[in-house]
Chain A
Amino acid sequence: MATRVLVVDDSGFFRRRVAEILNADSWLEVVGQAENGEEAVRLTAELKPDVITMDIEMPVMDGITATRQIMQRTPTPVIMFSSLTTDGAKATLDALEAGALDFLPKRFEDIARDRDEAKNLLCQRVRALGRKRMATPPTTTPASKPISTSSAAPAPAPAPRISKSGTLKLLAIGTSTGGPVALQQVLTNLPADFPLPIVLVQHMPATFTPAFARRLDQLCKINVKEAEDGDVLKPGWAYLAPGGKQMLLQGRGSQPSLQIIDADESQTYKPSVDITFDSISKVYPGETLAVVLTGMGADGRDGARTLKQKGSTIWAQDEASSVVYGMPAAVAEAGLTEQILNLTDIGPSIVKRVM
């Protein structure tokens, strides 16, 4: 079965373009189009699409409200189209909070080198979400399962040799699609006196990371900021890698600092989890807890391998709770993980391990 898609946008022109692009992909089929949020909510119930592409600005009912209602009534993966502006970032984060799983800039060129790549990317992202089955929102935290072995991947790595609580110096988290919500879920579990500094790498455009850092900062007990060049790591602070750049950890010993460098044209991910992890392995070779959360692709695998080789601990999010089980799967299948955890358990487990 092809992934059935509902396209929501108040612009007929845009709807038709998106539908054309999606329909050109044999794995995707546009089953309906809605021109405002209200219609989207109705058609979602009626057509039961596998994925919804949603515009934010619409008459009658905006995309955020619509997403929220859809999540309440007929949970369906939603991918938002947003503009890459400061306000767009805010709206997009609101949409993610309302339950949208992913977002794409409305101007595809902004994320791709050319039109074809942009089209591919759109289809890829929609297909990825199409594989996701939404469960009805859990009302309470289900019985926790410390280790979920949901994938057929090689058995988790044996217990760590070096890392013991107390010897850890850094928490590093890398994620992509679904990451904003996942990060929020994990970080809000950490107490204000969390003893380690935290570096966060979330694939996100440059205009979004400042707003996202601010939002996390508001929601979390720990402090969160967008990383700036020269920031010295402090415990209880999380540093979010700025979009469009690369974040490196440099220096040795007690006062390592962050270095922000321009991304290379050829790099697929800006920021890249691999690059950050790799730099970490030089500073805190065996004293890092690295967690790879939901996301498409395999960014983080190589960095995690390096970290692992030097004695650090790698965790990954499990398939059931991942929006896209790509990055965590890559790490798990490479046999690098000590634990594969459900999203709801990651925060508490970190706290248990570290404190």
Chain B
Amino acid sequence: MDDELLQDFLVEAGEILEQLNSQLISLEQAPDDKDLLNAVFRGFHTIKGGAGFLSIDPMVALCHRTEDIFNLLRNGERHVTQDLMDTVLPVLDVLNDQFERLQSGDELDAADPALLRALEHYTTPGDGPAPAATPSAEPKPEAVAAAGNEDITDEEFEALLDALDKPGGGSSDKPAATNNSDGDEINDDEFEALLDDLHGKGQFKGAPPADNTEDKPAAASGSNEPEEPISQDEFEALLDDLHGKGQFKGAPADAGQSTTPPAASGAGGAGGGGGSPSAAPAPEPEEPQSAAAMVAKAAAGNKERPAGETSVRVDTARLDEIMNMVGELVLVRNRISRLGEHAGDEELSKAVANLDLVTSDLQLSVMKTRMQPIKKVFGRFPRVVRDMARSLEKEINLEMIGEDTDLDKNLVEALADPLVHLVRNSVDHGIEMPDVREAAGKHREGTVALTASQEGDHILLVIEDDGGGMDPDKLRQKAVEKGVMDADAAARLDDNECFNLIFAPGFSTKDQISDISGRGVGMDVVKTKITQLNGSIEIDSAPGKGTRLSIKVPLTLAIMSTLMVRLKDQLFALPLVNVSEIFHLDLTKTNVMDGQQVIIVREKTLPLFYLKRWLIKGEANTPLPSEGHVVIVHMGNQKIGFVVDELIGQEEVVIKPLGALLQGIPGLAGATITGDGGIAIILDVPGLMKMYT
């Protein structure tokens, strides 16, 4: 298959799939929204068209049947029910899966016949097991009446008759129903399905849950312009040549009798239409009154030229490369500005200031090209929450705020799993059963709120639920049971520290392991992942009120704001995200508790460490200075003080991986080149703490 075409198709299909994901969920809330039904129909229709063009038959088969269902829905011949959604939503999962396989160049398996059959079941009128909940579950008379009009084919009619003949009509999972309610042809898939049925139950229920919506770079939504196969001049020449031969006879004389205006003839015909009950129905005029949003969107698009011409597709590897080079530029900039300071030349300073500005802008612009709205991740939550709420029988309202907040593509991808995990946790462990909530005087429906916002060079993500919250005592008890700490240590923990216990490896408070949100390995994995992104995660909870998790991550992974410090004659960079404050301290005024030197800052006791002792060779037992600079760093709710020799200042650094020799040493995150051309090690604060404390 032509790869270029395939990519072109995938870009479009990916966008549509993403839209469908949210549209389908909205549909459950607004099952009669015509515009929405039309949009969903078109989504499947368009994917089918493209897949058909590329002969991706399994995809066509699925989309085709789903499209049929939505055609019935939008024509009001069927209504959205939960059961129907339960059948249609897995289609999206399968499509997403197919999409990924196509993307990675794999062959597609034929669409699951059980799923196809389940879908067909909904396009067969008069089927029995239409849920009782449906007010208008196609009563048979209606279907029969429909047979008289043009919207039902003979096949369908036959199928209907078959269905009527059969006891327990239309349960299409029975082999009998599979075969040949619709007539003469049985294809391989159906045959296989039949075999499956005979051998045992279909595997449809086992369809994997939604996995991921593909993350495609925004920039990739562009397109290739069709190429001119022939130059303009050549073309003109060719035309001239041909023209002479009279290829075109010129317009036929306008005899005033063009093709009959169809409207007129249609009307005339209808007028005379003897016994026919209805004239040709006018096409539905709904489209023009589509949602204002859609019109607005289209209008916005129209201002420019067709979307296809304004964007190009860029390989993400190329963006990474550019980002890397900008990183190098930032380093050179740092270097030059350092040199400029020393030179004291005014002209040079001006030039340097200029360079500084341009570099910053460039850095920002490049960063923006890599930005994607967090929507990419958020988009999957309605579905996740919906499915979980359904299976747990909870009532949950999901609120999402700040979906348009942009962050680096890599971050979006990296955040996806942790966020899904946290949301699942909130739904599974946070929100109580409706009856429990009611008994506690709360609304039956729980709320999970997802918020994303940019704070300076960080993104703040908050997952908040109004569920049962966490009980610190229970956590303490659990910690002791699990052997995470002894009873005394547990008792000394303040509430906030208790909440942080859930991030400890192997800590799960749910007595019963649910297969929905992991097995207690989750939270520490989440924490590790966030930490890897130079981010931090904080938790706060009030029993009976709910839990709030906040995640802070930098806007980008490639460039990091750091606090440069000096230990002896070496430079080290502390990620600014971990730095809470710095101050000068008279080190004689420290105390010792449990053999650990501590300082008291605003009535809080913080352990104090000498970074030099850890990191500089031969300084492990160096005597303490009488005073020094202290950097308070934090991770989670834990804070500690580091004593350093000198504070250099804040610097943007480009993270370079460590050489093979240094790889994997705990506490070191990477290295960077400093403004004066030296090398500084970037410290990994959580790693350091794990290693040395």
- Do they bind each other? yes
Q: How large is the interface on A (under 10, 10 to 19, 20 to 34, 35 or more residues)?
A: 35 or more
B133 within 8 A of A: no
Scan residues 217-263 of chain A and give those whose CB is less than 8 A from a CB of chain B. 217-221
- CB atoms of B258 and A135 under 8 A apart: yes
Q: Among A26, A135, A178, A220, which residue has its beta carbon within 8 angstroms of that of B269?
A: A220
Scan residues 295-346 of chain B and give those whose CB is less than 8 A from a CB of chain A. 295, 298, 301-302, 306-308
Scan residues 253-302 of chain B and give those whose CB is less than 8 A from a CB of chain A. 253-266, 268-270, 272-274, 276-280, 283, 285, 287-288, 290, 294-295, 298, 301-302
Total count of chain B residues near the partner, CB < 8 A: 75
A23/B280 contact (C-beta < 8 A), A60-B287, A135-B254, A220-B273 known: no
**A96 to chain B: closest residue by CB:** B262
* Contact residues in B for A181 (Cβ distance below 8 Å): 259-260, 262, 265
The segment from A6-14, A163-171, A331-339 that touches chain B is A6-14
B494 within 8 A of A: no
- CB atoms of A26 and B238 under 8 A apart: yes
* Contact residues in B for A142 (Cβ distance below 8 Å): 255-257
Q: In whole angstroms, how far apart are the Cα atoms of A11 and B49 in the complex?
A: 9
A98 within 8 A of B: yes
B10 smallest CB distance to A (angstroms): 9
A349 within 8 A of B: no
Scan residues 82-104 of chain A and give those whose CB is less than 8 A from a CB of chain B. 83, 85-87, 90-91, 93-94, 96-99, 101
A23/B50 contact (C-beta < 8 A), A188-B265, A219-B280 known: no
- CB atoms of B308 and A57 under 8 A apart: no
Q: Chain B 215-234 against A: per-residue CB contact (8 Å), 1 yes, 0 no?
A: 00000000110111110000
- CB atoms of A60 and B42 under 8 A apart: no
**B298 to chain A: closest residue by CB:** A60
* Contact residues in B for A109 (Cβ distance below 8 Å): 52, 55
* Contact residues in A for B306 (Cβ distance below 8 Å): 32-35, 39
A26/B230 contact (C-beta < 8 A), A11-B50, A135-B257 known: yes
A75 smallest CB distance to B (angstroms): 8
B204 within 8 A of A: no
* Contact residues in A for B224 (Cβ distance below 8 Å): 16
- CB atoms of A138 and B257 under 8 A apart: yes
**A144 to chain B: closest residue by CB:** B257
* Contact residues in A for B290 (Cβ distance below 8 Å): 59-60
- CB atoms of B287 and A10 under 8 A apart: no
**B259 to chain A: closest residue by CB:** A323
- CB atoms of B276 and A137 under 8 A apart: no
**A3 to chain B: closest residue by CB:** B248
- Report which B residues bind A (CB closer than 8 A): 5, 8-9, 11-13, 38-39, 41-42, 45-46, 49-50, 52-53, 55, 68, 71, 150-151, 153-154, 223-224, 226-230, 235, 238-239, 248-249, 251-266, 268-270, 272-274, 276-280, 283, 285, 287-288, 290, 294-295, 298, 301-302, 306-308
7 A-B contacts (beta carbon < 8 Å): A11-B49, A60-B290, A135-B258, A142-B257, A184-B265, A210-B154, A322-B259
- Report which A residues bind B (CB closer than 8 A): 1-2, 10-17, 19-20, 23-24, 26, 30, 32-39, 42, 57-62, 64-65, 68, 71, 75, 83, 85-87, 90-91, 93-94, 96-99, 101, 106-109, 131-138, 142, 148, 150, 178, 181-182, 184-185, 188, 192, 210-211, 214-215, 217-221, 319-323, 325, 342-344
The 10 closest A-B pairs by CB, nearest first: A135-B258, A137-B261, A219-B269, A218-B276, A133-B251, A188-B269, A320-B255, A107-B52, A64-B283, A11-B46
